[in-house]
Amino acid sequence: MTAVEQAKKRQPPPKRPRRERKESGFVVFRTALTAWLSRPLASFHLVLALTGVLTVIGIVMVLSASSVGSYDPKTGSGVYALFTKHLVFVALGGVVFWVGMRVKLERIRRMSATATVVCLGLLVLVLTPLGSTVNGSQGWFRIGDFTFQPVEAAKVALAFWGAHILVIKYNVIHQWRHLLVPVVPIALLMFALVMLQPDLGGTVTLAVVLLALLWFAGAPKRLFGVILAGGLAGVLVLALIAPYRLARVMSFLSPDPDTSAAGFQANQAKLALADGGFLGKGLGQGASNWGYLPNVQNDFIFALIGEELGLVGCVVVLALFGGVAVVGLRIATRNIDPWIRIVSGTLTVFLVAQAGINIGYVVGLLPVTGVTLPLISYGGTSLVITMLIMGVLANAARHEPEAVAALRTQGPGKFGRLLRLPAPDPYRPPATRKGAARAGAKAARPAPRAARPAPAQERRKSVREPVRRSAARTSTATSRAAARTTASRGTRSTANRRGHW
């Protein structure tokens, strides 16, 4: 064996190259989703997508729910009568959605006080003969074939104006009188006017708006315990003094014995959900459309979704409203304007809570309160106001700092150019008022610490400071005396030249 062969034999065998592990599909999807969510206008695009998908689902389900009930040969109305009106409300809501995106948020904030006063006036007028009674509640204005419910507008006005007041009082919001006045008294006045209609569902959603305002403004947590205790006591009193409310509560507590009176709708809704199964019976194939579930296109449309689209359809709707919650709170946390933060959080909690209340009493977890499912139930004031809220959320998404920088440097983008949306202005903190700043500084001033010897540098500074002040006063007095002497000499010389001396 030669020396070359021996050297080759001593060398270790070559290592095989390592195969690169392929990343799983979930990791790739998560990486791509994270990269897309980090884009400046991701929140804006998500609001547009969620609004569009929920609106389309609502259009399809309203057509399925109202086609049978709309047909009436006596009045000549066809199967598309309610569906056509719903399309009109969707078109009007689309215009309002665009207005909510286009109007400057600063202008909305300035108009919030006027809107609140107007809504209070409408809540008073609706209790007069000018108002109309629908389903036992005098809370509508009827204009031809269309109706308007002022409590829906009052919820949004309270959110805008309450956030404005709480931002102004930010430095003194830790004091109870500044925290509660005037937001809570105005809200209680709205509660009273709505309960006079009576409308328990509107009162509950108004209470959700108030609680969300106080929460996002940073109110102390013990306040919410007091408010919740008072609210539960109020609900108990209201349930006891009204027979129909007491019947609803009793049917909720014991639903089985009461299958034909107050608990009829709740029982029929659960039967519809059970008949749907996993994939549902198919669009237009549900029995609820044929009168087995009254008012299915309004308050109980989620039961029809479960019957015709099954568990899959219900999960999709729940996921979409979960997306609304995540995106709305993302907009609130990513903004630096305190008013936008409070408004975005409040409107998001209001929408998601309204959807939760509706779905809760459809599945039997809550007593029936008559609250619509946002963007999906049959149109009207609720649909138009919800579209306005989504437009304001989209506008707030365009005011995120990264979105403002991108829109002002790279242009409006495809949707901004198509919708003719103006570039948002960057946030500029307002000038602090002297009274509020002084009160806030006084409140934030820490307690006096125990006396301790000052450092050597501070002692030298404290010794030198009186000397500097006295020297400055001396120099100032000397300069003033010199100025007087010069002025007097000039006056005398002028007077001698003129012959007055």
CB-based contact 256:35 (threshold 8 Å): no
Residue 146 pLDDT: 80
Residue 20 pLDDT: 60
What does the alpha-carbon distance between residue 151 and residue 480 come to, in Å, rounded to a whole number?
Answer: 71
Neighbours of 191 (CB within 10 A): 18
Sort 495 into a burial class: Cβ within 10 Å, 0-12 / 13-18 / 19+. Answer: exposed
Residue 265 pLDDT: 80
130 vs 123, 143, 148, CA distance in Å?
Answer: 11, 11, 12
CB-based contact 383:146 (threshold 8 Å): no
Residue 334 pLDDT: 95
Instruction: For residue 139, give the H/E element and its range.
Output: strand 137-143
Task: At 329, list the tokens.
Answer: 């709170």
Query: b/e string for 63-100 if b means 16 or more Cβ within 10 A?
Result: bbbbbebbeeeeeeeeeebbbebbeebbeebeebbbeb
CB-based contact 114:166 (threshold 8 Å): no
Residue 267 pLDDT: 84
Residue 246 pLDDT: 72
Residue 327 pLDDT: 96
What does the alpha-carbon distance between residue 413 and residue 384 come to, in Å, rounded to a whole number?
Answer: 26
**Residues of the chain falling short of pLDDT 50:** 435-437, 439-475, 477-479, 481-501
Report field, pTM of the whole predicted structure over 0.95: no
